[in-house]
């Protein structure tokens, strides 16, 4: 039994290469998943690694370190393209969870209902992975999460950051979440949208991603294409645009309900992204 | 750094003091704080970040200590509720406001609430309501309905006053200080660190046969495992139940389990051994068998029969009939009918069942959370096969009960383990265990037909309700009996028939939950009343007022109250809000907005105390030689305020300020039986016993002092001073020989409500009093998404006489929160919603402002006219919400909870 909280990334990667054990940051997914009598033998805590926490401007855009919490995201000064991400951050559990949980942990946990994924998908986020043996590689977020609780991270790798290309300056964004209560609620469906509009209010560029309606949250390219030229206040979401979704029925709602309301949710997210409340 | 045993040490600052504690890799901060550092003020409700009870500040930021690896605290500053209360002026001022608002009921969530609020108030001394909600959204409370917490954080005017504490005075809770500082000791707070622990092996299937393997080998091959208990270890009878004719639940299943989560064995070991125990390693082989998972399959041909002698899995039924319902319905000008369903509802108190037991001088002592200490003792007497003189029940503080802690849970395992090992033992259910294994609200399947004459007078009522009582009886028979008596609602119905049946299934036992089936039947009745009013073209509130019971009108049981019937006053009190809110809703709905407003109303009634059965409470009191006035208070305070209410009644009867009373108990060694905290009976029944006890004590004193009955008494410093018609008499208590308990004067009085049995048609006098209620709610519905957001409640409650108006408000607000949960989000599904993130209860963001209108139609039987209130508060809530959804959208929801998908489906049904 051991608990490692290395101060440097090199040390962390060396431990990961040895079979680092359970990687832990905020702990908000690790502990609830821990079954009776199944405490991991070895923990690798990444929260004390120098330089891993924080949001930085880079040449290409923005870099969010792996130990960055949701509260850090909420407090950061970021362009409007990140509004959806900030709104999602406020919907992650509760203040207690936002203070501990990390955005990268949310990705690594790979829940179909992870609030962080749709806003990052519309930001074209990429996940940065590092290992002692192979150095650093970058994987688009859409490829990083490969299924329910499955990611492209190898055992000897650690996620070190999410990198985001600079969103267009005129692009607004919004996040919509449907749940059965306020606070501490797992989404029934969620949508993140970002749009740019011309002077007449017609959409010139659109990105829409939906979560909790398929094993992995996804962008909706057919919808995005169909939105060009539409009035953002009353965008039409054709059911055919949502045919890539495959929601399930569970305790939170039926598949048919999800498939239906997500269309409304998309329209609302698009309108809000364009600044229409 | 390691400690001498080689366990690594973690060092941090705890409430300003440098501390060092041994910590196993990955151990939760909450565990180390509670067990190694004594910070028992930190409460654990779920161990999953779902309830926030364990909130601490780490470097000033609120986090769930249950999700924080203790190693992350290394070198940091941790602050807890008790520490903040000791030294932080913001926390101290907030604590005062919590007390002045009555913002702590049971107190289990209070530390988490206080810590979260302090973090907010340090940054923002004058937060808006939504800022408070955002900051406290991560802490669940099941008692208060959150509104008083919001008021306390925002610094609203106090709802309490500093007063003598007579009946009617809105004083602070007399037991509130420890709840606010975090020092209240709940079920998991009694055991010393290192105490042996119990782990219960539970069924993973709804129905299965099982064979135990090599238990001796299992024990021998594991360090720190002391013993395993199974059915074979029970010295008495392996059976418990709350109703003598229905004692059918085993402590440990034998050969076959009847529901998922049923216990088959218990492992006793050191904390380390229990922590490491993998349940899969326990030697048992299962043989899964086809279960009956709902009332329909349980009654179908070939279904498993759960209990001998209960053919068709019918546990029992209830029946009330007066007049001729069928004939009246045939002749009624209009009729309506409906089919209504509801699912299991989980009590979801924030304190999971927990306790501690030890052997003291050959007797077994059980310290656990409970609503019914004497019933616990009686159950253990049978299970342990021990004389009751060898058993002592010392209830801990109770972190919410709502009915489920009437049944035993941890108690037999604790007692058996203490007897088996001879050592102290502890047991705290995990949230999942608590949800899987303890009782629930009965799912209901109700068919109802109601008629009326053109003038709006009810004319014929035919009700059939089937209730899923689960694998064992628990309080199912009470539900079956109560429902037909109450299904009419508080209305005059001449031609009435109501039948109920409790059906066994392979589900968890359904038992007592605030209202005993009446909230379910009220949904059917009150929703159909709206349908009937609509068909008649009548205003729904006017329709109810027209049919409301009044004094001297018979109930459906033929019981005639010549006084005290307050439902009409409750309904009439809603008239102003009804007019104003309906007008405002119409304005909203014609303004072109996306959402729709609707206003709904519903009423309810509830008979206080047992149904036509003896139901006594005894209260002992006395004056010691030093002048201390002692009240032996055995009526369990589970957060509702019995300690304060009983003391206020007693103080009024004796004629002293409440602050002078020293409360003793609850403890079965020293407090007489004040019955169970159930059936809205403590204010009424135990309150009467307290009144009689206070009056008797006063009589003994004035007789001895030879002063008039009206003399004003002062009891202090070893003397009693009586001021009688301007003359002052002093009595030296030292001159009286004290009894074996040290009392110079004493009184012990019993009150039992006058009821009469029900005949074969349910005619009789089931209760000595009813309480009455009517709720109005405004909801906002988003028709496209199916979401429903209550915006405001107005609740009128006839409590006869409010003993403490602040506590009345607290009950009303908390009851409405539970009713709202039942209406909109709560459904327990075995195997699917066994935690507090899949099973949702309302958060601080879900409960809108609640205006409480206290109606006082005194009851001749109640102490100072008081009536019970505990269950009444949620009976009208769910139907009022469903009626409001209908008013907003035209969609009639007939199955709760009205989740977004169900509401959307109902609205779509209209569009077709």
Q: In the block, which residue shows the tokens 């269950």?
A: B871
- Note whether A23 and A101 are same-domain residues: yes
A-facing residues of B in 838-857 (CB < 8 A) are 838, 840, 842-846
CB contact under 8 A, B832 and A264: no
Q: Which residues of A touch B32 (CB under 8 A)?
A: none
β-pair partners for B630: B622, B662
Domain co-membership, A86 together with A199? no
Please provide the DSSP assignment of B3-25 as one string.
-TTSPBEEEEEETTEEEEEE--T
Residues A179 and A159 in one domain: no
DSSP for residue B406: G
**Which residues from chain B sit within 8 angstroms of residue A24, using beta carbons?**
26, 69
Of the candidates A28, A45, A97, the beta carbon closest to that of B71 is on: A45
Does A100 contact B63 at a Cβ distance shorter than 8 Å?
Answer: yes
Whether residue A261 and residue B829 make contact (CB cut-off 8 A), yes or no, is no
Retrieve residue B357's tokens. Answer: 């037991």
Distance, CA of B32 to CA of B30 (rounded, Å): 6
Whether B911 has its CB under 8 Å from any CB of chain A: the answer is: no
- Establish, for the pair of chains A and B, how many residue pairs have beta carbons separated by less than 8 Å: 165
Same domain, A102 and A193: no
Number of structural domains chain A divides into: 2
DSSP collapsed to 3 states, B722-758: EEECCEEEEEEHHHCCCCCCCEEEEEEEEECCCCECC
Pair B623, B715: CB distance under 8 Å: yes
| Structural tokens at position B831 | 């195997």
Helix H, strand E, coil C: the string for B753-788 is: CCCECCCCCCCCECCCCEEEEEEEEEEEEECCCCEE
The CA radius of gyration of chain A, in Å to the nearest whole number, is: 19
CA distance B617 to B2: 56
Residue A277 touches partner B, C-beta closer than 8 Å: no
Q: What residues 246-265 of chain A have any CB closer than 8 A to a CB of chain B?
A: 250-254, 257, 260-261, 264-265
Which residue reads 């009693």 in tokens?
Answer: B720
Name residues 170-199 of chain A within 8 A of B (Cβ): 178, 180-186, 188
Averaged confidence pLDDT in chain A: 97
The C-alpha atoms of residue B872 and residue B416 are separated, in whole angstroms, by 38
Shortest Cα distance from A179 to chain B (angstroms)?
8
What is the helix (H) or strand (E) element at residue B605, kind and residue range?
strand B596-607
Burial class (CB in 10 A: 0-12, 13-18, 19+), A152: middle
Task: Give the residue from chain B lying closest to A27, CA to CA.
Answer: B67
Give the per-residue pLDDT at B5. Answer: 61
Mean per-residue pLDDT pooled into runs of 10, chain B (912 residues): 70 98 95 98 98 98 98 98 97 98 98 98 98 98 98 97 97 97 97 97 98 98 97 98 97 97 98 96 98 97 96 97 98 98 98 98 98 98 98 98 98 98 98 98 98 98 98 98 98 98 98 98 98 98 98 98 98 98 98 96 97 96 97 96 98 98 96 96 97 98 96 96 96 95 97 97 98 98 98 98 98 98 98 97 98 98 98 97 98 98 97 74
B-interface mutation test, from A26, A181, A186, A187, most B Cβ less than 10 A away: A181
Burial class (CB in 10 A: 0-12, 13-18, 19+), B729: middle
Using the Cβ of B275 and the Cβ atoms of chain A, whether some distance falls under 8 Å is answered with yes
| Cβ–Cβ gap A253/B832 under 8 Å | no
Q: Which residues of A touch B121 (CB under 8 A)?
A: none
Task: Look up the domain containing A213 and give its range.
Answer: 172-273
Query: N- to C-terminal Cα distance for chain A?
Result: 52
Asked if A95 lies within 8 A of B135 by C-beta distance, the reply is yes
- The contacts of residue A237 (CB under 8 Å, 6+ apart) are A223, A263, A264, A266, A267
Chain A contact present for B584, CB below 8 A? no
- On whether both A127 and A14 belong to a single domain, the answer is yes
- H or E element at residue B699: helix B687-705
Q: Which two tokens stand for residue B879?
A: 């139907």
- Of the candidates A150, A165, A180, which is a domain's last residue? A165
Q: What is the per-residue pLDDT for B3?
A: 60
A229 touches chain B (CB under 8 A): no
**Confidence tier at A277 by pLDDT (50, 70, 90):** confident
pLDDT per residue over A99-119, tens digit each?
999 999 999 999 999 999 999
- Residues in A closer than 8 angstroms to B68, CB to CB, are 27, 100
Same domain, A61 and A198: no
The closest alpha carbon to B549, from B351, B715, B753, B773, belongs to: B773
Question: What is the token pair recorded at B854?
Answer: 């206290």
Of B68, B74, B277, the CB nearest to A100: B68
Residue A1 reports pLDDT greater than 90: no
Nearest alpha carbon to residue B373 among B669, B113, B688? B669
**Nearest chain B CA: its distance from A52 CA (Å):** 15
- Tell me, yes or no, if A99 comes closer than 8 A to chain B by beta carbon: yes
Decide if A39 touches B, using CB distance below 8 A.
yes
Q: Report pLDDT for A214.
A: 98
B646-to-B639, B642, B651, B799 alpha-carbon distances in Å: 13, 6, 9, 15
B900: nearest CA in chain A?
A: A180
- From the CB of residue B525, how many other CB atoms can be counted at a distance below 10 Å? 27
Q: Please check whether residues A74 and A159 belong to one and the same domain.
A: yes
Query: How many whole angstroms separate alpha carbon B679 and alpha carbon B870?
Result: 8
Q: What tokens were used for A238?
A: 């054709």
- Residues A57 and A15 sit within 8 Å (Cβ to Cβ): no
- With contact defined as beta carbons under 8 Å apart, do B48 and B3 qualify? no
Cβ of B69 under 8 Å from any chain A Cβ? yes
Residues A191 and A252 grouped into a single domain? yes
How many C-beta atoms surround the C-beta of residue A239 within 10 A?
10
How many Cβ atoms sit within 10 Å of the Cβ of residue B370? 32
Do residue A180 and residue B824 have CB atoms under 8 angstroms apart? yes
Q: What number of residues does chain B have?
A: 912
What pLDDT, on the 0 to 100 scale, is given for residue B2?
55
Last residue of a domain, one of A149, A165, A181: A165
| Contact assessment for residue A70 and residue A98, using Cβ atoms and an 8 Å cutoff | yes
Q: Rounded to whole angstroms, how far apart are CA atoms B602 and B540?
A: 9
The answer to whether the Cβ–Cβ distance between B63 and A264 falls below 8 Å is no
Chain B nearest CA to A95, separation (Å): 6
Among A135, A165, A195, the domain-final residue is: A165
Q: Which residues of B touch A176 (CB under 8 A)?
A: none
> Which of B48, B49, B900 is opposite residue A180, by nearest beta carbon?
B900
Q: Which of B64, B833, B844 sits opposite A96 (nearest CB)?
A: B64
Of B133, B138, B901, nearest to A93 by CB-CB distance is: B138
Which of B12, B49, B905 to probe the A interface (max A CBs under 10 A)?
A: B49
Please state, in angstroms and rounded to a whole number, the distance separating the CA atoms of residues B459 and B325: 8
Residues A110 and A242 in one domain: no
Average pLDDT of A18-27? Answer: 93
Name the DSSP letter for residue B280.
G
pLDDT of amino acid B7 = 78
- Min Cα distance B186 → chain A (Å) is 23
C-alpha distances in angstroms, B183 versus A64, B37, B173? 42, 15, 15
CA B651 to chain CA mean position, Å: 26
Short-list B238, B475, B230, CA closest to B380: B238
Instruction: Select from A231, A259, A264, A235 the least CA-distant residue to A245.
Output: A259
Pair A24, A53 in one domain = yes
Specify whether the CB–CB gap between B396 and B189 falls below 8 A: yes
Across the interface, of B48, B55, B900, the residue whose CB is closest to A188 is B900
pLDDT at A20 > cutoff 90: no
The CA-CA-CA angle for residues B503, B507, B511, to 5°, reads 65
| CA-derived radius of gyration, chain B | 27
CB contact under 8 A, A94 and B52: yes
Q: What CATH code is carried by the domain that includes residue A112? A: 3.30.465.10
- Tell me which residue of B48, B174, B43 sits closest to B113, measured CA to CA: B43
Closest CB from A39, A96, A251 relative to B62: A96
Q: Within an 8 Å CB–CB cutoff, is residue B592 touching chain A?
A: no
CB pair distance less than 8 Å for A257 and B900 = yes
Is residue A61 located within the same domain as residue A153? yes
CATH code of the domain containing A176: 3.30.390.50
- A46 contact residues in B (CB cutoff 8 A): none
User: What angle, 0 to 180 degrees and rounded to 10, lies between the N-to-C axes of helices B575-589 and B877-889?
Assistant: 30
- Work out the angle at residue B298's Cα, subtended by the Cα atoms of residues B433 and B832, and round it to the nearest 5 degrees: 30
- A269 and A205 share a domain? yes
- Beta-carbon separation of B901 and A257 below 8 A: yes
Instruction: Tell whether B44 is within 8 A of chain A (Cβ).
Output: no
A-facing residues of B in 188-207 (CB < 8 A) are 199
Q: Where are the beta strands (DSSP E) in B323-435?
A: 334-342, 354-360, 363-368, 391-393, 425-428
Burial, A50: exposed, middle or buried (Cβ in 10 Å; 0-12, 13-18, 19+)? exposed
Question: Which ipTM was obtained for this model?
Answer: 0.98
* pLDDT value at residue A168: 94
Q: How far apart are CA A61 and CA A163, in angstroms?
A: 7
Contact indicator for B428, B108 with CB cutoff of 8 Å:
no
């Amino acid at each position: 039994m051991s608990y490692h909280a290395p101060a440097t990334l090199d040390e962390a990667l060396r431990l990961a290469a040895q079979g680092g054990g359970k990687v832990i940051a905020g702990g908000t997914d690790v502990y609830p998943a821990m079954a009776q009598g199944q405490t991991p033998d070895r923990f690798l805590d990444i929260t004390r690694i120098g330089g891993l926490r924080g949001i930085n401007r880079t040449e290409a855009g923005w870099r969010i370190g792996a130990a960055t919490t949701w509260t850090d995201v909420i407090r950061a000064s970021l362009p409007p393209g990140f509004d959806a991400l900030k709104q999602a951050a406020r919907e992650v559990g509760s203040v207690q969870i936002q203070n501990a949980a990390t955005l990268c942990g949310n990705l690594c946990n790979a829940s179909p209902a992870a609030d962080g994924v749709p806003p990052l998908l519309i930001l074209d986020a990429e996940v940065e992975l590092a290992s002692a043996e192979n150095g650093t590689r970058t994987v688009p977020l859409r490829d990083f999460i490969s299924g329910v609780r499955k990611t492209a991270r190898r055992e000897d790798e650690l996620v070190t950051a999410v990198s985001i290309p600079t969103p267009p300056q005129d692009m607004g964004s919004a996040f919509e979440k449907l749940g059965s209560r306020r606070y501490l609620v797992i989404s029934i469906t969620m949508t993140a949208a970002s749009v740019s509009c011309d002077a007449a209010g017609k959409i010139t560029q659109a990105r829409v991603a939906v979560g909790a309606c398929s094993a992995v949250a996804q962008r909706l390219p057919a919808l995005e294409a169909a939105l060009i030229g539409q009035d953002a206040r009353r965008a039409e979401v054709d059911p055919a645009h949502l045919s890539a979704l495959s929601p399930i029925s569970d305790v939170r709602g039926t598949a048919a309900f999800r498939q239906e309301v997500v269309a409304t949710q998309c329209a609302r997210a698009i309108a809000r992204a364009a600044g229409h409340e | 750094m390691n400690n001498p045993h080689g366990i690594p040490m973690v060092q941090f600052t705890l409430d300003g003091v440098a501390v060092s504690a041994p910590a196993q890799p990955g151990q939760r901060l909450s565990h180390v704080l509670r067990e190694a550092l004594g910070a028992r003020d930190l409460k654990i409700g779920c161990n999953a970040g779902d309830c926030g009870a364990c909130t601490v500040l780490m470097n000033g930021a609120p986090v769930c200590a249950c999700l924080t690896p203790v190693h992350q605290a290394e070198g940091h500053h941790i602050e807890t509720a008790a520490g903040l209360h000791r030294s932080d002026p913001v926390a101290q001022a907030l604590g005062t406001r919590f007390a002045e608002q009555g913002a702590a009921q049971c107190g289990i969530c209070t530390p988490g609430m206080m810590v979260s609020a302090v973090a907010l108030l340090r940054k923002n001394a004058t937060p808006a309501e939504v800022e408070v909600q955002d900051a406290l959204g991560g802490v669940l409370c099941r008692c208060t309905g959150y509104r008083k917490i919001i008021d306390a954080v925002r610094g609203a005017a106090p709802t309490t006053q500093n007063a003598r504490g007579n009946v009617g005075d809105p004083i602070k809770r007399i037991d509130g200080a420890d709840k606010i500082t975090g020092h209240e000791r709940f079920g998991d707070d009694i055991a010393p660190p290192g105490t042996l622990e119990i782990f219960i092996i539970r069924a993973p299937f709804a129905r299965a046969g099982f064979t135990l393997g090599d238990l001796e080998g299992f024990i021998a091959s594991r360090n720190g495992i002391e013993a395993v208990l199974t059915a074979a270890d029970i010295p008495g009878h392996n059976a418990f139940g709350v109703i003598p004719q229905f004692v059918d639940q085993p402590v440990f299943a034998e050969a076959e389990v009847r529901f998922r989560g049923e216990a088959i064995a218990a492992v006793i070991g050191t904390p380390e051994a229990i922590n490491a125990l993998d349940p899969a390693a326990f030697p048992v082989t299962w043989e899964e068998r086809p279960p009956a998972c709902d009332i329909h399959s349980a009654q179908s041909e070939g279904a498993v029969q759960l209990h001998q002698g209960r053919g068709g899995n019918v546990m029992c039924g209830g029946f009330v009939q007066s007049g001729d319902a069928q004939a009246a319905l045939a002749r009624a000008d209009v009729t309506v009918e409906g089919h209504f369903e509801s699912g299991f509802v989980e009590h979801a108190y924030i304190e999971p069942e927990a306790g501690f037991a030890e052997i003291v001088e050959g007797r077994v002592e059980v310290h656990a959370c409970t609503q019914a200490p004497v019933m616990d003792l009686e159950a253990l007497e049978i299970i342990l096969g021990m004389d009751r003189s060898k058993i002592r029940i010392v209830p801990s503080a109770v972190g919410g009960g709502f009915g489920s802690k009437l049944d035993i849970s941890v108690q037999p395992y604790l007692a058996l383990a203490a007897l088996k090992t001879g050592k102290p033992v502890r047991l705290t259910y995990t949230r999942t265990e608590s949800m899987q294994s303890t009782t629930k609200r009965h799912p209901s399947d109700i068919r109802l037909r109601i008629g009326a004459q053109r003038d709006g007078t009810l004319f014929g009522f035919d009700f059939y309700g089937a209730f899923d009582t689960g694998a064992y009886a628990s309080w199912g028979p009470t539900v079956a009996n109560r429902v037909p008596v109450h299904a009419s609602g508080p209305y005059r119905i001449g031609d009435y028939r109501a039948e109920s049946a409790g059906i066994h299934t392979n589900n968890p036992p359904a038992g007592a939950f605030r209202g005993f089936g009446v909230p379910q039947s009220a949904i059917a009745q009150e929703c159909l009343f709206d349908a009937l009013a609509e068909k008649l073209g009548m205003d729904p509130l006017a329709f109810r007022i027209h049919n409301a019971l009044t004094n001297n009108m018979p109930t459906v049981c033929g019981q005639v109250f010549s006084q005290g019937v307050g439902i009409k006053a409750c309904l009439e009190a809603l008239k102003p809000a009804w007019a104003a809110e309906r007008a405002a809703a119409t304005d909203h709905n014609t303004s072109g907005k996306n959402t729709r407003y609707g206003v709904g109303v519903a009423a309810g009634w509830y008979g206080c105390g047992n149904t036509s059965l003896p139901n006594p409470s005894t209260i002992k009191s006395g004056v010691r030689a030093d002048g201390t006035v002692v009240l032996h208070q055995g009526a369990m305070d589970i957060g509702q305020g019995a300690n304060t209410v009983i003391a206020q009644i007693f103080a009024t009867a004796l004629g002293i300020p409440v602050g002078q009373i020293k409360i003793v108990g609850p403890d079965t060694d020293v407090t007489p039986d004040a019955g169970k905290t159930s059936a809205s009976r403590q204010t009424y029944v135990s309150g009467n016993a307290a009144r009689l006890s206070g009056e008797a004590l006063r009589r003994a004193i004035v007789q001895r002092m030879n002063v008039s009955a009206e003399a004003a008494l002062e009891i202090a410093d070893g003397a009693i001073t009586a001021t009688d018609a301007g003359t002052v008499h002093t009595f030296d208590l030292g001159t009286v020989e004290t009894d074996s308990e040290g009392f110079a004067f004493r009184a012990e009085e019993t009150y039992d409500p006058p009821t009469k049995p029900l005949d074969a048609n349910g005619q009789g006098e089931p209760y000595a009093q009813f309480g009455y209620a009517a709720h109005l709610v405004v909801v906002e519905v988003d028709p496209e998404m199916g979401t429903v957001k209550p915006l405001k409640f107005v609740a009128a409650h006839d409590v006869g006489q409010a003993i403490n108006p602040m506590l009345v408000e607290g009950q009303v607000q908390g009851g409405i929160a539970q009713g709202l949960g039942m209406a909109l989000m709560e459904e327990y599904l075995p195997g699917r919603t066994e935690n507090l993130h899949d099973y949702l209860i309302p958060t601080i963001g879900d409960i809108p402002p609640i205006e409480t209108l206290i109606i006082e139609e005194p009851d001749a039987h109640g102490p100072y006219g008081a009536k019970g209130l505990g269950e009444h508060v949620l009976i009208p809530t769910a139907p009022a919400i469903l009626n409001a959804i209908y008013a907003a959208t035209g969609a009639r929801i007939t199955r709760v909870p009205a989740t977004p998908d169900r509401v959307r489906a109902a609205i779509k049904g209209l569009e077709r």
